[in-house]
């Protein structure tokens, strides 16, 4: 990967490579756009094949956070961080504190939180070195794990997409295939079961699958078979790039609406293919904005009910995106990008508009 070419093409403001020899920390922090506010996005820990793969991931994820905040109406920019390494072997207080010092050095341009393989206890250790952290429980007003609110927003996003594509106001009796039974996927299964949906589940962790089968009478599907499962809704809640040239020909559903980030391997190509196949795709950064909404409320003074209520607004946001897609005869992802860019460009056009992050007045101490 040509680093500067990729950064320029995707419009990033700043990319920081972090290394601490003593702890083995290797991390990348990507700040995409701070027009609407400080860049907020979680940190994930993953054993990437190489640094190019890590950079590719963090650039896409951080850009998605910019668009996510813009579509959700939040006064935030987009950022993301990745820590390179095996989360089962490398985690330590020293490593997370070293990472926290890098976050702190950015002076508030980037605020971090939990993401894949990073839990509340991990982010608490980051918070020992910086105030630019959300999703904590140790501070007054801390919200803790944002995944229940993320799943709540995805649930309402599924309802909106089913309403648009199938004309149904309820999920009762519909078959929903959930790929990935992590924090978000497990909560989503609970909400779907309560609504009366028939669950089909897939994950690499057999114990999680057995739990879903026991609690919700979910049907278990192994590995890639999830892509060819006959169902009404496919809800990807694991890692990204699972909508691609190999998987799309297998699809036997009419709705894709799930919590995973960067679901399309090629945003333009695969977004258009889904449109041509009449599969309604809920843009991932729109439908999974509940977690960002949750931690944004932490910055303002956390109230769980307010956060959940705002996450329900994803229903209306998605209907707006679908209307825009129909009006312009474009893919739903292109439509959501247009909605986000319109808001960002409107704010950029304000004469003399700029942000400063040289104080911590936004932090609830």
Domain boundary among 92, 127, 162: 127
What does the CA dihedral 85, 89, 91, 94 come to, rounded to 10 degrees? -100
State what percent of residues in the chain have pLDDT above 70: 94
Nearest CA to 107 among 136, 131, 79? 131
42 located within any domain: yes
- The reported pLDDT for the residue numbered 80 is 97
Instruction: Based on the fold, state whether residues 116 and 189 are members of the same structural domain.
Output: no
Residue 150 predicted with pLDDT over 60: yes
- The reported pLDDT for the residue numbered 262 is 86
Instruction: Based on the fold, state whether residues 106 and 169 are members of the same structural domain.
Output: no
* pLDDT tens readout for residues 82-117: 999 999 999 999 999 999 999 999 999 999 998 889
136 located within any domain: no
Instruction: Based on the fold, state whether residues 334 and 211 are members of the same structural domain.
Output: yes
Domain boundary among 94, 127, 160: 127
Instruction: Based on the fold, state whether residues 163 and 108 are members of the same structural domain.
Output: no
For the chain, how long is the longest CA-to-CA vector? 59
Query: How many other CB atoms sit within 10 Å of the CB of residue 3?
Result: 13
Instruction: Based on the fold, state whether residues 257 and 159 are members of the same structural domain.
Output: yes
Range of the domain at 276: 147-290+300-306+314-339
> Rounded CA gap, 264 and 271, in Å?
7
Report the run of H or E that residue 53 belongs to, with start and end. Answer: helix 51-71
362 located within any domain: no
Helices and strands, number each (H, E), in the chain: 14, 12
Instruction: Based on the fold, state whether residues 120 and 156 are members of the same structural domain.
Output: no
Residue 356 predicted with pLDDT over 70: no
Handedness of CA 170, 155, 272, 254 (dihedral sign): negative
**Burial classification of residue 313, based on how many CB atoms lie within 10 Å of its CB (0-12 exposed, 13-18 middle, 19 or more buried):** middle
DSSP state of 361: T
360 located within any domain: no
Three-state DSSP state, 42 = coil
- The reported pLDDT for the residue numbered 145 is 77
> Rounded CA gap, 273 and 182, in Å?
28
For residues 323-332, average pLDDT? 96
- For 28-32, 131-135, 174-178, which range has the lowest pLDDT when averaged over its residues? 131-135
CATH of the domain at 102: 3.40.50.10860
219 located within any domain: yes
Tell me if 120 sits within 8 A of 114, measured CB to CB: yes
> Rounded CA gap, 70 and 74, in Å?
6
Q: Checking phi first, is residue 226 left (phi over 0); if not, alpha (psi -120 to 50) or beta?
A: alpha
Burial 193-211 (b: 16+ CB within 10 A, else e): bebebbbbbbbeeeebbeb
Query: How many other CB atoms sit within 10 Å of the CB of residue 334?
Result: 19
Torsion angles phi and psi, residue 274, rounded to 5:
-60, -40
Tell me if 282 sits within 8 A of 320, measured CB to CB: no
- The reported pLDDT for the residue numbered 141 is 61
Instruction: Based on the fold, state whether residues 110 and 218 are members of the same structural domain.
Output: no
- Counting every residue written for the chain, the total comes to 365
Instruction: Based on the fold, state whether residues 206 and 62 are members of the same structural domain.
Output: no
Three-state DSSP state, 357 = coil
- The reported pLDDT for the residue numbered 279 is 98
String of DSSP letters for 285-308:
HHHTTHHHHHHHHHHH---HHHHH
> Rounded CA gap, 142 and 312, in Å?
21
* pLDDT tens readout for residues 286-319: 999 999 999 898 887 888 899 999 999 999 999 9
- The reported pLDDT for the residue numbered 200 is 98
Place of tokens 């994803």: 314
Report the run of H or E that residue 95 belongs to, with start and end. Answer: helix 93-105
User: For the chain, what is the mean pLDDT?
Assistant: 92
Structure tokens at 110: 């980037």
365 located within any domain: no
Residue 365 predicted with pLDDT over 50: no
Tell me if 201 sits within 8 A of 222, measured CB to CB: no
DSSP state of 112: B
Place of tokens 């962790």: 205
* pLDDT tens readout for residues 188-240: 999 999 999 999 999 999 999 999 999 999 999 999 999 999 999 999 999 88
344 located within any domain: no
Active site residues: 80
Instruction: Based on the fold, state whether residues 171 and 251 are members of the same structural domain.
Output: yes
CATH of the domain at 227: 3.40.50.720
Instruction: Based on the fold, state whether residues 161 and 82 are members of the same structural domain.
Output: no
What total of structural domains would you count in the chain?
2
Residue 362 predicted with pLDDT over 50: no
Place of tokens 């508009």: 353
pTM over 0.75: yes
Instruction: Based on the fold, state whether residues 212 and 325 are members of the same structural domain.
Output: yes
247 located within any domain: yes
Instruction: Based on the fold, state whether residues 178 and 324 are members of the same structural domain.
Output: yes
Tell me if 100 sits within 8 A of 128, measured CB to CB: yes
């Amino acid at each position: 990967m040509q680093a500067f070419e990729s950064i320029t093409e995707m419009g990033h403001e700043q990319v920081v490579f972090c290394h601490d020899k003593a702890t083995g920390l290797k991390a990348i922090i990507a700040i995409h756009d701070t027009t609407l506010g400080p860049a907020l996005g979680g940190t994930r820990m993953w054993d990437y094949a190489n640094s190019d793969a890590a950079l590719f991931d963090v650039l896409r994820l951080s850009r998605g956070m910019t668009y996510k905040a813009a579509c959700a109406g939040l006064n935030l920019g987009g950022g993301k961080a990745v820590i390179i390494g095996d989360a089962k072997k490398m985690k330590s207080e020293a490593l997370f504190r070293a990472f926290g010092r890098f976050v702190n050095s950015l002076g508030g341009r980037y605020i971090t939180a939990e993401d894949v393989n990073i839990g509340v206890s991990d982010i608490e250790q980051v918070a020992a070195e910086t105030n630019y952290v959300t999703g904590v429980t140790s501070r007054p007003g801390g919200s803790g794990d944002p995944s229940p609110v993320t799943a709540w927003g995805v649930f309402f996003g599924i309802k909106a997409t089913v309403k648009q594509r199938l004309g149904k106001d309820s999920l009762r009796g519909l078959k929903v295939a959930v790929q990935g039974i992590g924090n978000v996927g497990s909560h989503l299964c609970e909400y779907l079961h309560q609504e009366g949906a028939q669950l089909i589940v897939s994950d690499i962790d057999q114990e999680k699958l057995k739990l879903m089968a026991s609690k919700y009478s979910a049907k278990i599907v192994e590995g890639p078979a999830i892509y060819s499962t006959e169902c009404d809704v496919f809800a990807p809640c694991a890692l990204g790039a699972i909508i691609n040239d190999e998987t799309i020909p297998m699809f036997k559903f009419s709705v894709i609406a799930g919590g995973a980030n960067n679901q399309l391997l090629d945003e333009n190509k695969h977004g258009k293919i889904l449109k041509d196949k009449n599969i309604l795709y809920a843009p991932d950064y729109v439908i999974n904005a509940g977690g960002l909404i949750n931690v944004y409320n932490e910055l303002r003074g956390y109230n769980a009910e307010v956060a959940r209520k705002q996450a329900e607004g994803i229903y209306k946001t998605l209907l707006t995106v679908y209307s825009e897609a129909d009006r312009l005869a474009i893919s739903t992802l292109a439509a959501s990008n247009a909605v986000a860019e319109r808001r960002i460009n409107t704010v950029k056009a304000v004469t003399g508009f700029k942000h400063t992050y040289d104080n911590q007045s936004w932090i609830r101490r």
